[in-house]
Structure 1
Amino acid sequence: MLLTCKELTKSYGMHTVLDAISFVVNATERIGIVGPNGVGKSTLLRLLVKQEELDSGTITYAPNIEFGYLPQTTPDFYGQSIQDLILASVGNLKLLEEQMHTLEAAMAGAGANQLPSLMEEYAALTTRFQDRGGYELDYKIDSILEGLHLTYLERSRAVETLSGGEKARVGLATLLLRSPEILLLDEPTNHLDFASLEWLESYLSTYQGAVVMVSHDRQFLNKTVSKVFEIDEHSHQLHTYSGNYDAYIEAKQAERKRWEDAYEQQQEEIKELQKQIRINGRQVGHSNRPTRDNDKYAKYFFSQNVQSAVARNVRAAQMQLERIEENPIPKPPELLRVQSQFQTEPIQSQIIVRLEQITKSFGQRKLFEQLNLTITPQTRIMLTGPNGTGKTTLLRLINGDEVPDSGSLQVVEGARIGYLAQEPASLDREKTVIETYKYGQIGYEGEFIGRLLGYGFFRLEDMHKQVGQLSVGQKRKLELACLLAAQPNVLLLDEPTNYISLDVLEAFESALLHFDGPIIVISHDRWFIQRFGGEIWQLVDGRIERGQPGDANTPIPFL
């Protein structure tokens, strides 16, 4: 066992996140952690790497075990270059190599008594060095950078000058270069294009250590994990399921059905026992009336026997009811029903947005040159392409957040653009959920609470939580709620499936399918792309290559 966790408990004030959870992680295991946003998945990883303190419980790593952690949001690495991070990442391998050389020198001059123990230690070191790729370090560096599509970046470049996606991939690359015995990954597929996703799936399948990851990418989980840890949002406990994500969903549905059936059966039993007690109790009461003088003794004796039998039945039913009430089957909790439907009116114009001869560069890097694009009311575009080709910049140009170097961009009057950025917005941490949602709208707070609850993203007890208390995924849900409230008639969505849990994701996908207006979506979520339909456009070398209309049964041409 590489890692043993016993009775881990964590609370924030009165809010329990994890309640006495226990598990082990064995060598080469592939474990996916799932659960709704805010349930404690990222908190669990931070506890494992000691970035947060436990309230109680123990976390024990096996001797000499190294872990590596990829957080959900990548640090800026101020003052460091890509090469600095690479050298720091392979430092542990260099240290192992130095220890091996020290042992080699010691063995050369060791006596017969010392040599066996030195050789045993040396064999363990060389095995670790080999398993972690030490003998092919240069090749490993090149292959990881190439696999994550980072070779176009100069290694001398300062990390703080990179885009958010580039920083995330550099962070993942340098973590993989360390080759720790346990990889702890929080949303590792965010910011990866198709080629990088496939490479990472292949890399993890042959990784020599264990992998524990939080992910909302259904296809990625299906291809990479063999065990699922679910953190229950009601009990705050951890449940283990064998198999991949599809196997987990199947097991959960069967488990829920058994629970519902057992609960209904017990409720029927309670009703039947209460009915017996009520009817038989009345019969006992009626039998207690005084005997008449002309009643015969035998008749009286028989009635008393019947009365005793009925009383025994009443007592037996009462005892059975008491046993049930001491340890009842709890009612299955209400499932959070997400109702994220857009309310909007279509635009009458046949041309919503027109880009003509657009050119845009950043420094020496030219993204677009004389780009032309027309968006109509029927436009439904899934925009794909390798990272760094300008997909996000194109959406920001249409939204007015960037200005083209040359060319013209026209947006029809009456277009209400709803833009969801790739990274969660910098929301005011001091404001509450309901204050953030109702900002800029006119109405009563009760009305806004009802509307927000209606979406199914939050519960009543969440309304007055401060934004600073929310997880990244919960902040993303708040952004989606604000987007719905704005009633846009044009949608520009940049990686909308990042950070949000699978229950919300499927409802949001349904809302997009019924949206009556133009949509441009950037996504690398293969499952989402197959459900979205519409046209697939690929941005390559500053130009758009149009694909064929897709449907759920058509394979994605860029996988």
Structure 2
Amino acid sequence: MLLTIRNLTKTYGAITVLSEISCVVNAGDRVGIVGANGAGKSTLLRILTGSEEADEGSFAYAPSVEVGYLPQTTPPFYGRSIQDLILEAVGNLRQLEARMHELEEVMSTAIQEQLTSLLEEYALVSTRFQDSGGYEIDYKIESILEGLRLSYLPRTQEVETLSGGEKARVGLATLLLRSPDIILLDEPTNHLDFASMEWLENYLSSYHGAALIVSHDRQFLNRAVNAIFEIDDNSHHLKAYTGNYDAYVAAREVERKQWEEDYLRQQEEIKELRKRIKEKGRHIGHSNRAPRDNDKFAKHFFGQRVDSAVARDIHETEERLKRIEADPIPKPPELLSVTSYFRTESIQSQIVVQMSDVRKGFGERQVFEHVHLNLAPQSRIMLTGPNGAGKTTLLRLLLGEEQPDGGTISLAPGARVGYLPQDPALPDLEKTVIETYRYGQIGYEGEFMGRLIGYGLFRLEDMQKRVRQLSIGQRRKLEIASLMARNPNVLLLDEPTNYISLDVLEAFEQAVLHFPGPVIAISHDRWFIQRFGGEVWELQEGQLVKKEDHEIVTSA
């Protein structure tokens, strides 16, 4: 066993996040951690790294186990180059290598009494060095940088100058180079393109240690994990399932159906027991009337014996009812019904957005040139391309947040553009959930609260929480709710499935599919792309190219 967790409990004020979490992780386990936004998935990983403390319970790693952690938000790595991080990551291997050489030198002159213990240590050190890829470290560095599409970056480049996606991939690369016994990954696919995701899936499938992975990417969970840990949003307990994501969904549906059937069966039994007690009690009440004359003495005598039997039956029935009510089958909680949809009408214009001969560069780097794009009212465009190709820049040009170096961009009159950025970017973390949602809108607070709760994204007790108290996933949900409240008729979505828990994701996908106006989406979520439909355009080497075959993207 590499990791043992016993009865971990974590609360924030009156809010319970984790309740008596217990599990065991062994070498070879690749565990996907799932649950609603705010259910405590990231909190559990932070507790296991020591950056947060549990209120109760404990966890323990096996002796000498090394743990590596990749958080959702990548640190800026101020003042450090890519090469600095690489050297730091493989430092433990260099130390192991140096110790091996020391032991070899000592053993060459050691006396027989010392040799046994030296050989034992050498076996341990060399095995760890080999398992961590020490004999092929240079190849491993090249392989990981290539797999995560980082080989184009000069290793002397300061990490703080990289894009958010590049920083995240550098963080993942250096973590994998360390080859820890257990890796803790929090949404590792958010900044990976198709090729990088496929590479990571294959890498994890043969990983020598164990992995705990928080992810919303359903296809990644299907391919990369062999177990699922679900943190229940109602009980806050953890339940383990074997198999991938599809196996987990199937098992959970069977469990839910059985739970509902058992609950209804017990409720019928309770109803029947209460009815029996009531009827039997009425029988005794009627039979306790005094006999009218002495001739009926015998009949009364035998009636009393019947009453005693009935009373015993009532007592037994009451005891049965007490036992059930002392430990009843809990009522299955109502499934969160997310009803995300956009209230808007399509634009009455043949061309909603037009880009003509647009050029854009940053310094000496030309991002794209001679880009042409016409967006019709019913257009559905999936914008793809490798990281750094300029996809987000293109959306920012359409929003007016960036200006082109050449060419023209025009929007039809009446176009209301709604934008969902790649990472949550709520401006004021001190505002409450309801204040953030209703910002810039006219109406009564109760009306806005009803609408927000009606989406199924938040509950009544969430309304007065500060934004800073929300998890990244909950902030993402608030951004989605605010986006719907603004009634846009044009949607620009930059990695819209990032950070969204699986319960919300499918409802939001449906809302996008039924949106009546044009949509441009950037996504590396293969499941989302397969359902999005429409045209696929790829930014490659500064050009915007329409792809004729949808499978070119989704099978990458």
The answer to whether the Cα contact below 8 Å between 1:359 and 1:369 also exists between their aligned partners in 2 is yes
Q: CA deviation at 1:413?
A: 1.4
1:493 aligned residue? 493
Distance 1:504 1:324 in 2: 36
Q: CA deviation at 1:370?
A: 1.3
- Cα distance per residue 1:403-456 (max 9 Å; x no partner): 101111101111110100001104422111111111111111111111000100
The answer to whether the Cα contact below 8 Å between 1:427 and 1:467 also exists between their aligned partners in 2 is no
Rate the CA distance shift 1:489–1:549 in 2: closer, same or farther, 3 A.
Answer: farther
2:470 aligned residue? 470
Q: CA deviation at 1:313?
A: 2.4
Give TM-score, length-normalised by structure 2: 0.98
SS at match of 1:418: strand
1:515 aligned residue? 515
1:239 aligned residue? 239
The answer to whether the Cα contact below 8 Å between 1:16 and 1:236 also exists between their aligned partners in 2 is yes
1:7 aligned residue? 7
Distance 1:548 1:420 in 2: 27
Letter paired with 1:448: F
Q: CA deviation at 1:64?
A: 1.5
Letter paired with 1:390: G
Q: CA deviation at 1:9?
A: 1.6
Distance 1:343 1:455 in 2: 12
1:60-79 alignment runs, 5 A limit:
60-79=60-79
Q: CA deviation at 1:549?
A: 7.4
1:424-439 alignment runs, 5 A limit:
424-439=424-439
2:80 aligned residue? 80
The answer to whether the Cα contact below 8 Å between 2:281 and 2:314 also exists between their aligned partners in 1 is yes
2:453 aligned residue? 453
Distance 1:310 1:206 in 2: 68
SS at match of 1:114: helix
2:113 aligned residue? 113
Distance 1:137 1:522 in 2: 35
Distance 1:498 1:122 in 2: 46
Letter paired with 1:534: G
1:408-423 alignment runs, 5 A limit:
408-423=408-423
- Cα distance per residue 1:510-555 (max 9 Å; x no partner): 11111101000000111111111111111111112212475xxx67
Letter paired with 1:531: R
- 1:48 pairs with 2:48: yes
- 1:363 pairs with 2:363: yes
- Cα distance per residue 1:278-302 (max 9 Å; x no partner): 2221121111222112652222223
The answer to whether the Cα contact below 8 Å between 1:228 and 1:242 also exists between their aligned partners in 2 is yes
Distance 1:556 1:146 in 2: 20
The answer to whether the Cα contact below 8 Å between 2:33 and 2:229 also exists between their aligned partners in 1 is yes
2:397 aligned residue? 397
1:347 aligned residue? 347
Q: 471-480 vs 198-207, which deviates more?
A: 198-207
- 1:443 pairs with 2:430: no
Q: 35-44 vs 459-468, which deviates more?
A: 459-468
The answer to whether the Cα contact below 8 Å between 2:228 and 2:242 also exists between their aligned partners in 1 is yes
Q: 275-284 vs 451-460, which deviates more?
A: 275-284
1:18-37 alignment runs, 5 A limit:
18-37=18-37
Q: CA deviation at 1:109?
A: 2.1
1:167 aligned residue? 167
TM-align CA RMSD: 1.3
- Cα distance per residue 1:175-227 (max 9 Å; x no partner): 11111111111111111000111111111111111111111111111111111
The answer to whether the Cα contact below 8 Å between 1:530 and 1:556 also exists between their aligned partners in 2 is no
Q: CA deviation at 1:556?
A: 4.2
- Structure 1 residue runs of 5 or longer lacking an equivalent are none
Q: CA deviation at 1:111?
A: 0.9
1:197-276 alignment runs, 5 A limit:
197-276=197-276
Q: CA deviation at 1:344?
A: 0.3
Q: CA deviation at 1:239?
A: 0.6
Rate the CA distance shift 1:555–1:272 in 2: closer, same or farther, 3 A.
Answer: farther
1:506 aligned residue? 506
SS at match of 2:68: strand
Distance 1:52 1:314 in 2: 55
- 1:482 pairs with 2:485: no
Q: CA deviation at 1:258?
A: 0.9
- Cα distance per residue 1:460-507 (max 9 Å; x no partner): 111111111111000000000001101110000000111010010000
The answer to whether the Cα contact below 8 Å between 1:535 and 1:549 also exists between their aligned partners in 2 is no
Q: 319-328 vs 284-293, which deviates more?
A: 284-293
Distance 2:549 2:467 in 1: 40
Letter paired with 1:297: F
Give TM-score, length-normalised by structure 1: 0.97
1:144 aligned residue? 144
- Structure 2 residue runs of 5 or longer lacking an equivalent are none
Distance 2:427 2:276 in 1: 59
Q: CA deviation at 1:56?
A: 2.2
- Cα distance per residue 1:294-313 (max 9 Å; x no partner): 65222222322332232222
1:328 aligned residue? 328
Distance 2:65 2:554 in 1: 42
Q: CA deviation at 1:54?
A: 1.9
2:39 aligned residue? 39
SS at match of 1:491: strand
SS at match of 2:88: helix
The answer to whether the Cα contact below 8 Å between 2:82 and 2:155 also exists between their aligned partners in 1 is yes
SS at match of 1:296: helix
Q: 274-283 vs 305-314, which deviates more?
A: 305-314
The answer to whether the Cα contact below 8 Å between 2:291 and 2:297 also exists between their aligned partners in 1 is no
Count of matched residue positions in the alignment of Structure 1 and Structure 2:
556
